[in-house]
Amino acid sequence: MIFSVTMKTADALHYAIEDSGLDKNNDEDLEQIEKFKECCDKWFKYSENITLKIDTELETCTVVERKND
């Protein structure tokens, strides 16, 4: 069986950026933070909603790339 789950991860993405050690007050780091956020937009909507596709037969879980809406 395959089903999808959309989860609201609240501040998980924000915390991951903070935990990366990048400093938002440093211009070079700020540029990296923006690149990080842009990359994550493929999977996260509003920087907090993410959809997972779960296959119970294969026992896999895949992050679904979201379409621009």
Amino acid at 8: K
Is residue 63 pLDDT above 80, yes or no? Answer: yes
Q: pTM for this one? A: 0.75
Inside any domain, residue 69: no
Inside any domain, residue 11: yes
Inside any domain, residue 34: yes
- Overall average pLDDT of the 19-39 stretch: 91
Inside any domain, residue 14: yes
Inside any domain, residue 68: no
- Overall average pLDDT of the 23-44 stretch: 92
How many domains, in total, are found in the chain? 1
Domain of residue 14 covers 2-63
Is residue 20 pLDDT above 80, yes or no? Answer: yes
Is residue 69 pLDDT above 70, yes or no? Answer: no
Question: Residue 14 has what pLDDT?
Answer: 86
- SS3 assignment, position 32: helix
Is residue 13 pLDDT above 90, yes or no? Answer: no
Would you give the distance in Å from CA 31 to the centre of its chain? 18
